[in-house]
Structures are given as C-alpha cells and as structure tokens.
Structure 1
Amino acid sequence: MNNKTIGFIGLGNMGGRMTRCLVDAGLTVLGYDTDTQRVKTAGAQVADSIAQVAAESGVVLLSLPDSKVVETVVEGAEGLLRHCREGQVVVDLSTAAASSTIRLHGLFAERGVQYIDAGISGGAAAAEKGALTLMIGGDEATVATLDWVFAPIASKVFHMGASGAGHTTKTLNNFLNAVSLCATAEVMVAGKKAGLDLHQLLDVLNSSSGVNFATQKRFPYIVDGDYLEGGLTGKLMNKDVVLYIDRVRELGVASLNASGPLASFGLQVALGYGDLISNKVVDAIGDVSGGVRLHQPL
C-alpha cells in the first residue's frame, strides 16, 4: 500500500472532475468506476476492482450517487470493509444520509480505519476549477493530515464536527439550494407571463430582498436558453430534498417548507426531465403553466 496513492471510487459528473484536478496537481490516482472510460478520461490509473483500490491506496475517496450505493461499495462482498487496512483513511464525498455515515464510521473504526464525511458544494464549474467548498465531519486530527488531498479540489474546507456533521451540513445547504431554485423558477415563469423583461426583473431581484444564488448565478443564463448543463440532475435534487426531510425528522425539527421543492422537483421527474440538470425545473413549471419557455416568445 502506497500512502501517497489516492484511490477514487466513482468518477462520474463530480468525481471525474475532482480526479482530473488531483492528477493535474501531480498526484497518483487509482480510479475505479463501472465505466472504465471515465477513469481514463480523468487521467487516473485504472483499477480492476474495489479490492485493488483498497490494497494500493492510503487514502480512498468516494463520490457516489447516494447512501445505498455507498453502502454497497463499503459493505458488499468485495467491498472496502473486507479489503481495507488499519491506518487507511476513507473520505466520502457523496451526498449521503448522515445516519448511514455514522453507522459506517463505526464499522470502519472497528478495523482501525478513519471514515471522514465531506459534503461538497459548488457544482460542476467549481469542481472543474478545483474550487469546491468542503463540509467535513470526522476525526479532526485525521482531517488535518488531508490538506494535500483537499488542496487540489477545494478552495474552502470547513471541519463541522464529529462523524455525520459534514453530510448533515451538506443536506441543509442542498435544501436551501432546492428552495431558491424552484421558487425562483416559479417567479421567472410568472414574470414571463406578465410580459416583464426578464433580465431587468433579475436586476431588480438582485438589488432587492429576493436575491439568492439562483437569481445571481443561474437565471441570468437560463433566461437566454443556457441551462448550465452538467450539474445536479432533477432526480438527484429530488433525492436531496427527501434526505433533508429524513434528517430533520431524525433531529425532531418540523419540516414546514419542504412541500414546495418536493413538489417542484417531483414534477420535473414526472414530466421526463429527471435525468437533466435540476435547472430544468423551470421548464416543468412552464409546462403546467401554459407551455412557457423563458427564452422563447409566448
């Protein structure tokens, strides 16, 4: 096992971009994905199995769709728990359920392995530039040894607390992201039907109390037909809202504002846009509002 070799499991939309940043920084990355071409495209060495990643890496990074997949990779018959070694560090960059993360942390601890949860924010654009924000949970001393891993992929790193704190923070952030995106989409469809100039409407919103990430960073492009493809899909956004509902239920917090994004991204999925970027929620709302497209004449 080479302690300076990084294993990377899951080289999809975000994982592939992060791997490329690590490789470009001169680090040795051993990648495993069900699609081998993704590993090659990211410039990593190709691993034949999870077992090989565990055997040849000191630090293993995971970037997977959800906790169910993470649990399969970790607890499967040929998963990380079976092949990990004492002293290794596993960092989960997925958007996962904190309760699952905490449980897996305990299983890894029994084998002398540190399991760190690291929620990420910034989307594909930030991943491309190595400018992500990391929200980390787990052993603080271990996190302090990972600067050389995080530096090529993140511009901001926050240690949020014990195991599960990183993924909890990510879940809370993603819920606010979902709220602002679907609410702004609804407002922009209404503005379109009211005959307002949408760029001017955005200027007003961004100078007023309605300003949010979607008004600043998304809709200035969407109103001209650029949906910023490559980011979080509608299905994944819908999943994240459900993760939020589950987490606040576990914490005993009333979820009074989840129905809007749950309905909006559920509509996006139901209308066939689920595998497209979550920004397409504006088209789903437009569909049920008379066939509105922000960048097309009424």
Structure 2
Amino acid sequence: MAIGFIGLGNLGRAIASRLTDMGEELKIYNRTKSKVEDLNYEIKDSPKQLIEDCDVVFMCLFESSAVKNIFEMEDGLLSADLTGKTIIDLTTNHYEMVLDFHQQIDEKGGDYLESPIFGSVAPALQGLVTIVTSGKKETYELCKPYLEKIGKEIFYLKEPGKASKMKLINNLCLGSFMATIAECTALGEMCDIEKPKLLEILGVGGGQSLVLKAKTQKLIEEDFSAHFSNNAIYKDLHTLQDLAYSLNQPLYSAAVPKELFGKMKKDGRGEEDFCSIYQLFKD
C-alpha cells in the first residue's frame, strides 16, 4: 500500500524523494497544491482523503501550529476513522503541544509516532539523517523499517515529548556552532586569510564539526539557498527557551545565537539558509 506524505517543503521533498528511491509509492497532500504539481505523486484534496487511502502517513511541517491545523481543519486527519492508521510526525514540535497530538490520535484509535529529524536536505536525500522517536513501543517497532529507509541513526525515547525536547537540545548545539563558525569565518577574512583555506584549517582544528562540514561549500560560495532556514532555527531556539523557562533553568549559550537569527529574520533573510548568519559578521 502507498505511504501518505503531508508537507512538501525543502526537507519534506528530500525525505519524500528518499522514500521513492527506496521503492515506496507515495500519495501526498500539501496545503498549497500548486507548489507540488511538479512532483510525480498522486495529490489528494485533503488530509482525510489521504489517510483513508494510506495506513501510514508521514508529516513534515514547519511547526506545531501547522500540525494542529492538519489535524483539526475541515476534512483534517481527526475527521477520519483512524483505526489501524499510523502517523509518523517528523516535525520539530513544541514539547507541550506534541503531547496533545499523541492524545488526540490515540483517542481516535490511531497511533502517533513523534519522530523529529536531525539533519537537513543534503543528508535527507541520502538517508543519512538522525531520527529520535517517542511513542508506543509496538508502533515504533512496526514503523522502524520505514524510519531506517530515511535515517542512518534511529533512537527511541518512549515517553511522549522526550523526542521533541531532545531535538530542541540538539538545535542549541546547531545554532551555537553555526554562529561561532560564521563569526570565525568573517574574522579570518578580515585578517586576509583566504576563506577556503581558513575553513579547511578550522575543519581540522577547533571548528571541526558536522555543522562546518555541511556548510563549508555554502560559505565559500555564499550560497544561502535554504537547507535549514534562519526562520526554523530561530523558532526552535525560542521554543528551547520556553522549555528552559518551564524547568526554571537559565540558558546562557542559547540567548545570543537566538537573537542573531532573530536579526536575520527581521532583516528579511528568514528564508535563507541559517549559514547566512555569516553575513551579519561580514557586514
């Protein structure tokens, strides 16, 4: 049976492409149908129609409010009979709202697997992302073969909400590393060190990281087409601060990167790749 897929943005398209490459047939729903007419998939008119045709539906949306809309809109997922249906949600959700999603799907007789993606477009196309999953153990075991088609590393944290919290914690590293690498790059150029050589040296020195490895060529070429946008990292760091507040835990290293990415959004650069924060330091 075909797999359903909702949310064909940059990351969603990459994951859908990977599933197709791995032999899966996809049927899709996207809020703006015109944005997916170039894709060679059967397009459904509503989430309800999609899940009635598919036992497993992936979602890859920007934030929890978009997930909520897909659930509760007219002819949304919750309007369907979800008995025997499974929703694998790859969205980076709010750690509190995702608890409602577990409950809502459970009450409708379906299964919900909270499975945020760690990684962006390039690794997603190759099936090299990391996935952290929360939900019922039996649902995880049944869906693991699907997850293994799109992810290299799969981790299971049973308790609902923990996968979303882990994703936010990971993105503290991601945003902080990117801000530091960007500032180092701009500073090195001010010292008349050629950017390719500078990044090569950082890549075997203190800057060695998956972040630098993934963004070196984009920084050299100043190609800021989005794999992971400034809007997305800003949203995640804001949610991370909500999490820290709920725990009465101050966050020191998250505050400055969050505001730097906020400045990118304010300057109209929110849709650019988050490595474009380099422009703040260069300018």
Residue type of the alignment partner of 1:150: L
CA contact (8 A) 1:20 1:43 kept: no
| Identity %, equivalent residues | 24
CA contact (8 A) 1:234 1:275 kept: yes
The answer on 1:78 being equivalent to 2:103 is no
Cα distance in 1, alignment partners of residues 12 and 62 from structure 2: 10
User: Residue 187 of structure 1 corresponds to which residue in structure 2?
Assistant: 184
Query: Residue 167 of structure 1: CA displacement?
Result: 1.5
Please, which runs of 5 or more residues in structure 1 have no aligned partner? 288-298
The aligned length equals 283
User: Residue 139 of structure 2 corresponds to which residue in structure 1?
Assistant: 142
User: Residue 109 of structure 1 corresponds to which residue in structure 2?
Assistant: 106
- After TM superposition, the structure 1 = structure 2 runs for residues 147-296 of structure 1, keeping only pairs within 5 Å, are 147-227=144-224, 229-287=225-283
Cα distance in 2, alignment partners of residues 110 and 224 from structure 1: 50
The answer on 1:30 being equivalent to 2:24 is no
Deviates more, 1:36-45 or 1:22-31: 36-45
Cα distance in 1, alignment partners of residues 158 and 66 from structure 2: 24
User: Residue 118 of structure 2 corresponds to which residue in structure 1?
Assistant: 121
Please, which runs of 5 or more residues in structure 2 have no aligned partner? none
Query: Residue 38 of structure 1: CA displacement?
Result: 4.6
Residue type of the alignment partner of 1:274: G
TM-score computed with the length of structure 2 as normaliser: 0.92
- Equivalent residue of 2:153, what SS? strand
Residue type of the alignment partner of 1:90: I
Query: Residue 152 of structure 1: CA displacement?
Result: 2.4
Q: Give the alignment's Cα RMSD to 1 decimal.
A: 1.9
Query: Residue 143 of structure 1: CA displacement?
Result: 0.7
TM-score computed with the length of structure 1 as normaliser: 0.88
CA contact (8 A) 2:226 2:274 kept: no
Residue type of the alignment partner of 2:270: G
Q: Deviations over 1:163-215 (max 9, x none)?
A: 11221111111121011001211121111112223333334433333433333
Q: Deviations over 1:201-234 (max 9, x none)?
A: 334433333433333331354134344x330111
Cα distance in 2, alignment partners of residues 218 and 178 from structure 1: 13
User: Residue 13 of structure 2 corresponds to which residue in structure 1?
Assistant: 16
Residue type of the alignment partner of 1:129: Q
Q: Deviations over 1:16-38 (max 9, x none)?
A: 22112222322222100023355
CA contact (8 A) 2:29 2:46 kept: yes
